[in-house]
Amino acid sequence: MQRRDIAAMAFGNLWSRKLRTAMNLFGIVLGCVVLLMTLAGTRGVAQSFEAMIEGSEDARKFMLHQGWSPKAKPPEEVLLVQGDMSEERRKRIQKHLEARWLEEFAEKSLFNQEKLQQLREIPHVIEVVPQTHLPCQIKLSSTPASQEPQSEQRRYATGISLIDSRLNSRVFIGQPLLPDDQNGILLSEFTAYQMGYKTDEELASLIGQAINISFLLRGQIISSLVQQSNWMSDNPVDLTGTLQAIEKLLENMDATPLTEAEQAQIRSVFKKAQTPSATDHPSATDNKDPQFETRQFEIRGIIRASTEDDPHSLLRKIYVSESPDVYLPHPVAIELQMSGDDFRTFYGAIAAVDDVRNLKSVTQAVEELGFQSNSVLWFVQMLERDVGNARMAISALSLLILIIAAIGMSNTMVVSVLERTGEFGILKAIGARDRHLLSLMLFEGIITGVLGATCAVVGSMAISQLVAFFVRRQISQQLNFTFTDNIFAFTALEFVIVFAVAITTCALASLLPAWRAAKLDPVVAMRRN
Amino acid sequence: MSLVAAKSVTKRYESGGHTVTALDEVSFEVQPGERVALVGASGSGKTTLLNLLAGLDRPTSGELHVGELQLSQLNEQQLAAYRSQNIGVIFQAFHLLLQQTALQNVELPLIVQGIVKQARRKLAMQALDRVGLSHRMTHRPSALSGGEQQRVAIARAIVHRPKLILADEPTGNLDTKNTLQILDLIQELLSEHDTSMVLITHDMKLAERCSTRIVWMSDGKLQQDDPHAAS
């Protein structure tokens, strides 16, 4: 018998037993659809996520802050844990001992201007924006003195990246800051609201207006202490009074019973405020209060806060959690912060790399400089791991479905062989060989596998379109974001895998029935007919 | 040289813990073109002998030659080849494949032989035409009468021009009219191609009508081999 004749007979047999063929196909199609959609779905999700990460400015950024010197290692005796205990417990205690030692003895890596320069020189780093927190008071130059509020509300300003398109996209009135603009600021819509500017027209009237910002450059430590004290106490302390008291204390330290060492310690914490000269800061205008330095800027735009439905806020939240009143060009903010008496270092910074693929090497280099970093790398790795686990779990489930389908199929094929005993007897009586019958049954299985895989491919493509439609609609409605990436990524590899699995499963399921058919005694078989 | 030569052929099998001797030292010959009727009651061993001749079963002892082949020495594959090339079998119950059309049923021996579609279709159509069923070739067995089904079975038995036709009660399921028509058809076809036949029947009239020699069987033995009985 020629192969094509066997195939034609197999087709004929499947066609003439439509219900059984359909039942077998159903199981195979179900298993294959689950398998294919799992493979394509997990790949699609991974690719979408990868594309989102690669295309996201926020993903290319990472937060860094002061860490321990990389050379700081506690001596072995410090890490010695005595007593009989499990290794896990011993390691946990060692970790605590190490942390305590570092806290107490290790040299902290200070984040100063020199370190900032070193960070900027790391290959692939395109921007480093140190975190600046500048307590301030603001006042529009055009506000008549008679309308000035009795006490200016305490606000704060921060320096921002000038190449952050996400941040710039939140400027809804006016224009974002340009890289060479050292005199412009962005005002938050909330601050503007508090200042009495409510409608769009009123907000638009702010654009181009001069604004005086008085920065609290000295006494920030005292300011922080007073702020914390006020949070924790129902007896508020007046900051100005406290500052004046501290200043007097510093001036008259010799009159106190404190020793020289104790006086030095007090001075190192509460440095005496110095009134800057006008030549130090040409833009300085009005220094009514020696603690403040006032500068004049121009409002360029009104900026809204980041919202939950901004899809990129998910990544951004990893390193941004503030909503300042005033956004300054970061070079200006750095200069102001470093000109204060209290802080000569930065707590942390947000750095950007040219490509998310360089994030790992850059964060390693940053950590070698004595910083700790916090990037989306952990998130990417966690997602990759979770997607991989989900892929494995659902693939195992689909294989289980296929195995069950194969057992069912094998069962129905055994029944089919029993029912077709007479037919096989006749074929043997007219000269069909064992291998012909074996091939016939195997062909039936393989055809079922091919048909099942084909139906599964077509079905999966259709289902994926439907699912993608609903998912995109949901994302669009929930996140106000047009999602265009493929949720299911079908590739030739997935198709090959599904066809291979389906054909192999069906062929294996047919093997036993085929062997039984081939070994039938034709005389007995025909007698049963 | 004889077409069929059986020498002391014995066939025993186990049934219910007992050994049953279905054929006991049977010896007989069939000459080319000869039509032999094996006549006997049920259980006399006729069908067992026919199964041995068809290569569907093997003798327990003895030699069974068909042409130059000694069947007892052939393996399964060789026996299958022997069945597909040398013999045509007509069964009482027709044994047609119910899912196939008349034409496809007739094509089966040619498919087994590996003959290409165009050639085998032509031969099958000729065979169906010869048995008077060219107008029913696309019908399935379920749409054919008993007589028509047997005609299809006859066409299937002759389509590959076998040397030997084995017919097991070929008219057992047919009415008188169809029986006579089928017998006449078989005789015509055998005469056309000078084909030998071994016919199994318990009907003496049938045996006399279509055979040139009648062999009586009883209890697995040949009782009488009379070359002139059917003259």
Reported ipTM: 0.88
pLDDT at A291 over 80: no
Touching check for B113 and chain A: CB below 8 Å? yes
* A 393-452: CB under 8 A from B: 422-423, 425-434, 436
Please give the share of chain A, as a percent, with pLDDT higher than 70: 88
Q: What angle do CA A72, A75, A81 make, to 5 degrees?
A: 125
CA distance A16 to chain B (A): 6
pLDDT at A271 over 70: no
Task: Answer yes or no: do B117 and A522 touch at CB < 8 A.
Answer: no
The kind and range of the H/E element at B197 are: strand B196-201
Whole-number pLDDT of residue A278: 37
Q: Is A36 exposed, middle or buried (0-12, 13-18, 19+ CB in 10 A)?
A: buried
Please state, in angstroms and rounded to a whole number, the distance separating the CA atoms of residues B145 and B23: 35
Q: Which residue of B has its CA nearest to A521?
A: B56
Please state, in angstroms and rounded to a whole number, the distance separating the CA atoms of residues A285 and A365: 42
Residue of A2, A423, A523 lying closest to B56 (CB–CB):
A523
Q: Which residue of A has its CA nearest to B50?
A: A523
Touching check for A16 and chain B: CB below 8 Å? yes
pLDDT at A447 over 70: yes
Touching check for B105 and chain A: CB below 8 Å? no
Touching check for B54 and chain A: CB below 8 Å? yes
List of chain A residues whose C-beta atoms are within 8 Å of the C-beta of residue B114: 1-2, 5
Touching check for B76 and chain A: CB below 8 Å? yes
A174 vs A347, residue with greater confidence: A174
Report the residue of B101, B108, B140 to disrupt the A interface, i.e. the one with the largest count of A CBs within 10 Å: B108
Task: Answer yes or no: do B95 and A428 touch at CB < 8 A.
Answer: no
Whole-number pLDDT of residue B226: 62
Residue of B56, B104, B111 lying closest to A429 (CB–CB):
B56
Mean pLDDT (chain A) is: 81
Report the residue of A3, A11, A430, A527 to disrupt the B interface, i.e. the one with the largest count of B CBs within 10 Å: A430
CA distance A526 to chain B (A): 8
Which structure tokens are listed for A52?
């989102």
Please state, in angstroms and rounded to a whole number, the distance separating the CA atoms of residues B169 and A427: 20
Q: Which residue of B has its CA nearest to A6?
A: B111
Instruction: Please report, for residues A134, A158, A208, A279, A333, the alpha-carbon distance to residue A282 in angstroms, rounded to integers and kept in the order given.
Output: 19, 21, 21, 6, 16
Residue of A13, A432, A529 lying closest to B112 (CB–CB):
A432
List of chain B residues whose C-beta atoms are within 8 Å of the C-beta of residue A423: 97-99
Instruction: Please report, for residues A381, A421, A442, B108, B174, the alpha-carbon distance to residue A426 in angstroms, rounded to integers and kept in the order given.
Output: 63, 9, 19, 10, 20
A308 vs B62, residue with greater confidence: B62
Residue of A1, A423, A526 lying closest to B112 (CB–CB):
A1
Task: Answer yes or no: do A431 and B112 touch at CB < 8 A.
Answer: yes
Touching check for B77 and chain A: CB below 8 Å? yes
Residue of A1, A12, A434 lying closest to B76 (CB–CB):
A434
pLDDT at A492 over 50: yes
List of chain B residues whose C-beta atoms are within 8 Å of the C-beta of residue A430: 83-84, 89, 108-109, 112, 156
Touching check for B153 and chain A: CB below 8 Å? no
Please state, in angstroms and rounded to a whole number, the distance separating the CA atoms of residues A102 and A107: 8
- Mean pLDDT over A234-240 rounds to 77
Touching check for B59 and chain A: CB below 8 Å? no
Task: Answer yes or no: do A2 and B83 touch at CB < 8 A.
Answer: no
- What 3-state DSSP class applies to B33? coil
Torsion of CA A34, A36, A41, A42, to 10 degrees: 100
List of chain B residues whose C-beta atoms are within 8 Å of the C-beta of residue A427: 97, 108, 112
List of chain B residues whose C-beta atoms are within 8 Å of the C-beta of residue A432: 80, 84, 112
pLDDT at A300 over 80: yes
Which structure tokens are listed for A335?
């200069």
Whole-number pLDDT of residue A292: 75
Give the A:B interface size as CB pairs under 8 Å.
71
- Mean pLDDT over A62-71 rounds to 81
List of chain B residues whose C-beta atoms are within 8 Å of the C-beta of residue A520: none
A72 vs B73, residue with greater confidence: B73
Task: Answer yes or no: do B80 and A426 touch at CB < 8 A.
Answer: no
CB B58 within 8 A of CB B64: no
Please state, in angstroms and rounded to a whole number, the distance separating the CA atoms of residues A295 and A287: 9
pLDDT digits (tens, 9 = 90+) for A340-382: 665 567 878 889 999 888 888 999 999 888 888 888 777 777 8
Touching check for A525 and chain B: CB below 8 Å? no
List of chain B residues whose C-beta atoms are within 8 Å of the C-beta of residue A425: 95
Torsion sign, CA atoms A235, A236, A238, A242:
positive
Task: Answer yes or no: do B156 and A423 touch at CB < 8 A.
Answer: no
List of chain A residues whose C-beta atoms are within 8 Å of the C-beta of residue B142: none
With helix as H, strand as E and coil as C, how does B61-100 read?
EEEEEECCEEHHHCCHHHHHHHHHHHEEEECCCCCCCCCC
Whole-number pLDDT of residue B225: 64
CA distance A5 to chain B (A): 7
Please state, in angstroms and rounded to a whole number, the distance separating the CA atoms of residues A346 and B138: 93
Whole-number pLDDT of residue B94: 82
Task: Answer yes or no: do B112 and A529 touch at CB < 8 A.
Answer: no
Q: Which residue of A has its CA nearest to B112?
A: A1
Q: Enumerate residue ranges in chain B where pLDDT < 50.
A: 228, 230-231
Touching check for A19 and chain B: CB below 8 Å? no
Please state, in angstroms and rounded to a whole number, the distance separating the CA atoms of residues A76 and A96: 14
Across the beta sheet with A61-66, the strand order is A125-130, A348-353, A61-66, A371-374
Q: Among A173-177, A279-283, A450-454, which stretch is predicted with the lowest mean pLDDT?
A: A279-283
Instruction: Please report, for residues A308, A363, A440, B59, B102, the alpha-carbon distance to residue A375 in angstroms, rounded to integers and kept in the order given.
Output: 20, 8, 60, 85, 76
CA distance B113 to chain A (A): 6
Whole-number pLDDT of residue A175: 93
Whole-number pLDDT of residue A279: 38
Whole-number pLDDT of residue A455: 92
Task: Answer yes or no: do A526 and B80 touch at CB < 8 A.
Answer: no
Please state, in angstroms and rounded to a whole number, the distance separating the CA atoms of residues B51 and A326: 104
Residue of B83, B93, B114 lying closest to A430 (CB–CB):
B83
- Mean pLDDT over A184-194 rounds to 93
Beta carbons within 10 angstroms of residue B211's beta carbon: 24
List of chain B residues whose C-beta atoms are within 8 Å of the C-beta of residue A416: none
CA distance A4 to chain B (A): 10
Please state, in angstroms and rounded to a whole number, the distance separating the CA atoms of residues B6 and B29: 6
Touching check for B173 and chain A: CB below 8 Å? no
Touching check for B162 and chain A: CB below 8 Å? no
pLDDT category of residue A152 using cuts at 50, 70 and 90: low
Residue of A12, A17, A430 lying closest to B112 (CB–CB):
A430
Please state, in angstroms and rounded to a whole number, the distance separating the CA atoms of residues B12 and B31: 27
Torsion sign, CA atoms A390, A393, A399, A401:
negative
CB B99 within 8 A of CB A14: no
